[in-house]
């Protein structure tokens, strides 16, 4: 099939490369010309495991190409994926200007039947809005389907190639049929393709992210309660996770959720349901708990040191989660801003997010080329992102480098006994 993917971010680029991998001809479009130039040279604008190799292979096979010229891509394709950003607007609602703008551009470039696939995360009713815009601009036949994306940054390629399920919202047979063909190679091992109406499909994505965010905030509250009663959240987590109705995954307490999805999607569903008169109470609490949780490490440090003025704090992990360079809404940002405001000096390291951190913090934070360099002369270490390479460090070397051996572990990656045996003053979450 001839496909176009509009937007070459974490979703669009991964989708484009994976769709080319199954033999389709894919043109990826982005209005950011610098990004397109990089991609044409085989350089990735984002860090995502396995992506570079996949992109290069499919470019070499001439199945994957990049352009900033949207009309050309539309004319050459029969199926067009919209994967542009839907950032949070000022009132919490998803900002649809990119999606609706692209819909208009697609309509103006159409030269025959097109299937337009909404892959961006959008509020209920957006497929209908896209349909209206296209209807106004063209007399060519078309279908609009909703196809929310569930991939996880850090495992995006794998998730796209082996999805748990594919959700397709459609109001017409033809659109649904073509989408089944597009996804057939990714669902051979039995993952279901779930075809439904557009409103349900649009809501699926928000419901999934909202439930995951709820699990995180819930476990963070349980961890806080464990601290009040001197209980151990690891024991509690394992015990409740063994209940098949609950399950063991996504029950890890930490320093709150970040990223480009959970924070904005939770706020967007609260907003678009409020617009219909519904008061989404649980999600308002989820959001408040998360906001508070992002400050737990800084608060604990202030309590430990009395004052942070003049202290040197090492930070391991800046990305909002491991295996990505994305720092959007990252808990590390909240921590570092608090430390700087309190007069501390910050020395930070992340395996992938250093270029983004440099743009964000400039010279206000010392960014070190290696993890251990961040520890030199530090009064304490804060672990904010649970990258694998932080899990089994050389504790003796850490002690030698640090001024005082104090560790604030925001992800519970170390054993309390091991830390005690190695002479660290050790704080973690809910233990
Ligand atoms: P992103 O910000 O990484 O990428 C969006 C891209 O779209 C950018 O490169 C931007 O330049 C481009 N763009 C914007 N307007 C354009 C236009 N008019 N024409 C061409 N290109 C344009 O965003 P992302 O993280 O890939 O997310 C995209 C959508 O997918 C969002 O709705 C998001 O909520 C959703 N989503 C994201 C994830 C994730 O893990 N990041 C997962 C599932 C769904």
pLDDT digits (tens, 9 = 90+) for 297-335: 999 999 999 999 999 999 999 999 999 999 999 999 999
Q: Mark whether 261 is an active-site residue.
A: yes
Q: Is the minimum distance from the CB of 9 to ligand 1 under 6 angstroms?
A: yes
Task: Give the pLDDT confidence score for residue 127 in this predicted structure.
Answer: 98
Give the pLDDT mean for 380-400. 98
The DSSP symbol for 424 reads -
Cα–Cα distance for residue pair 298/304, rounded to 1 Å:
10
Whether residue 311 sits in one domain with residue 282: no
Quick one: which of 70, 73, 58 has its CA closest to 33? 70
Q: Is the minimum distance from the CB of 323 to ligand 1 under 6 angstroms?
A: no
Domain boundary pick from 166, 196, 226: 196
Residue nearest to atom 30 of ligand 1 (CA): 120
Whether residue 153 sits in one domain with residue 21: yes
Residue nearest to atom 2 of ligand 1 (CA): 85
Whether residue 219 sits in one domain with residue 165: no
Whether residue 43 sits in one domain with residue 169: yes
Task: Give the pLDDT confidence score for residue 300 in this predicted structure.
Answer: 97
Q: Is the minimum distance from the CB of 77 to ligand 1 under 6 angstroms?
A: no
In 294-353, which residue ranges form alpha helices assigned H by DSSP? 296-305, 331-341
Residues paired with 25 in a beta bridge: 2
Distance 239 CA to ligand 1 centre (A): 39
Distance 87 CA to ligand 1 centre (A): 9
Q: Is the minimum distance from the CB of 344 to ligand 1 under 6 angstroms?
A: no
Task: Give the pLDDT confidence score for residue 108 in this predicted structure.
Answer: 98
Q: How confident is the model at residue 341 (pLDDT cuts 50, 70, 90)?
A: very high
Q: What are phi and psi of 106, to 5 degrees?
A: -60, -50
Averaged pLDDT score across all residues of the chain: 98
Q: Is the minimum distance from the CB of 84 to ligand 1 under 6 angstroms?
A: yes
Give the pLDDT mean for 19-32. 98
Cα–Cα distance for residue pair 197/227, rounded to 1 Å:
45
Distance 83 CA to ligand 1 centre (A): 5
**425-427 β-sheet, strand order:** 366-367, 345-349, 312-316, 380-383, 406-409, 425-427
Q: Are 412 and 384 in contact (CB under 8 A)?
A: no
- Token pair belonging to 184: 């057939």
- Sign of the alpha-carbon dihedral angle for 43, 49, 53, 55: negative
Which CATH number belongs to the domain containing residue 92 in this structure?
3.40.50.720
Cα–Cα distance for residue pair 357/365, rounded to 1 Å:
9
Whether residue 326 sits in one domain with residue 277: no
The catalytic position among 28, 198, 204, 261 is 261
Mutate to test the pocket of ligand 1, among 8, 10, 108 (most ligand atoms within 8 A of CB): 10
Whether residue 309 sits in one domain with residue 217: no
Task: Give the pLDDT confidence score for residue 47 in this predicted structure.
Answer: 94
Q: What are phi and psi of 370, to 5 degrees?
A: -135, 160
Q: Is residue 201 part of a domain?
A: no
Whether residue 386 sits in one domain with residue 266: no
Q: What are phi and psi of 192, to 5 degrees?
A: -75, 145
Q: Is the minimum distance from the CB of 104 to ligand 1 under 6 angstroms?
A: no
**64-67 β-sheet, strand order:** 64-67, 25-29, 2-6, 79-82, 114-118, 142-146, 166-169, 193-196
- The pLDDT > 70 percentage for the chain reads 100
DSSP string for residues in 209-270: HHHHHHHHHHHHHHHHHHHHHT--HHHHHHHHHTSTTT-STT----S---SSSHHHHHHHHH
Q: Is the minimum distance from the CB of 292 to ligand 1 under 6 angstroms?
A: no
E strand or H helix at 395? helix 395-401
Predicted model pTM = 0.96
Q: How confident is the model at residue 199 (pLDDT cuts 50, 70, 90)?
A: very high
Task: Give the pLDDT confidence score for residue 379 in this predicted structure.
Answer: 98
Determine the structural domain holding residue 239 and report its residue range.
206-292
Which CATH number belongs to the domain containing residue 286 in this structure?
1.10.1040.10
Contacts of 407 (CB under 8 A, 6+ apart): 380, 381, 382, 383, 414, 419, 424, 425, 426, 427
Cα–Cα distance for residue pair 150/207, rounded to 1 Å:
11
Task: Give the pLDDT confidence score for residue 388 in this predicted structure.
Answer: 97
pLDDT digits (tens, 9 = 90+) for 45-69: 999 999 999 999 999 999 999 999 9
Q: What is the CA radius of gyration of the chain?
A: 23
């Amino acid at each position: 099939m001839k496909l176009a993917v509009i937007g070459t971010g974490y979703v669009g680029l991964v989708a484009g490369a994976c769709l080319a991998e199954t033999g389709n001809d894919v043109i990826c479009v982005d209005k950011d010309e610098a990004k397109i130039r990089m991609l044409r040279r085989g350089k990735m604008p984002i860090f995502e495991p396995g992506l570079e190799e996949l992109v290069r292979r499919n470019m070499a096979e001439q199945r994957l190409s990049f352009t900033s010229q949207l009309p050309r891509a539309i004319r050459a394709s029969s199926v067009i994926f919209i994967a542009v950003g839907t950032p949070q607007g000022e009132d919490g609602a998803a900002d649809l200007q990119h999606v609706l703008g692209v819909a208009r551009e697609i309509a103006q470039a159409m030269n025959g039947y097109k299937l337009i696939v909404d892959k961006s995360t959008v509020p209920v009713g957006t497929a209908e809005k896209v349909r209206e815009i296209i209807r106004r601009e063209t007399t060519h036949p078309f279908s609009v389907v909703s196809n929310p994306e569930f991939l996880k940054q850090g495992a995006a390629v794998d998730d796209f190639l082996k999805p748990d399920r594919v959700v397709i919202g459609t109001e017409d047979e033809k659109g649904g049929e073509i989408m089944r063909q597009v996804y057939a190679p990714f669902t051979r091992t039995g993952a279901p393709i779930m075809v439904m109406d557009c409103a349900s499909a649009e809501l699926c994505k928000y419901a999934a992210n909202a439930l995951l965010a709820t699990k995180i905030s819930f476990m963070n509250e349980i961890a806080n309660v464990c601290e009040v009663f001197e209980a151990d959240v690891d024991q509690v987590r394992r015990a409740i996770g063994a209940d098949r109705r609950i399950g063991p995954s996504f029950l890890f307490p930490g320093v709150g959720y970040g990223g480009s999805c959970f924070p904005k999607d939770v706020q967007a569903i609260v907003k678009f349901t409020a617009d219909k008169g519904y008061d989404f109470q649980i999600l308002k609490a989820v959001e408040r708990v998360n906001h508070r949780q992002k400050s737990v490490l800084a608060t604990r440090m202030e309590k430990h040191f009395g004052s942070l003025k003049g202290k040197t704090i090492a930070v391991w992990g800046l990305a909002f989660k491991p295996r990505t360079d994305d720092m959007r809404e990252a808990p590390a940002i909240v921590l570092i801003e608090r430390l700087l405001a309190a007069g501390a000096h910050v020395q930070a390291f992340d395996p992938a997010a250093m270029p983004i951190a440099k743009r964000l913090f400039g010279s206000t934070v010392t960014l070190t080329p290696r993890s251990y360099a961040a520890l030199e002369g530090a009064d304490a270490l804060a672990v904010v992102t649970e990258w694998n390479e932080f899990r089994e460090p050389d504790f003796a070397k850490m002690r030698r480098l640090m001024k005082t051996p104090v560790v604030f572990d925001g992800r519970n990656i170390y054993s309390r006994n091991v830390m005690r045996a190695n002479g660290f003053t050790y704080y973690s979450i809910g233990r």
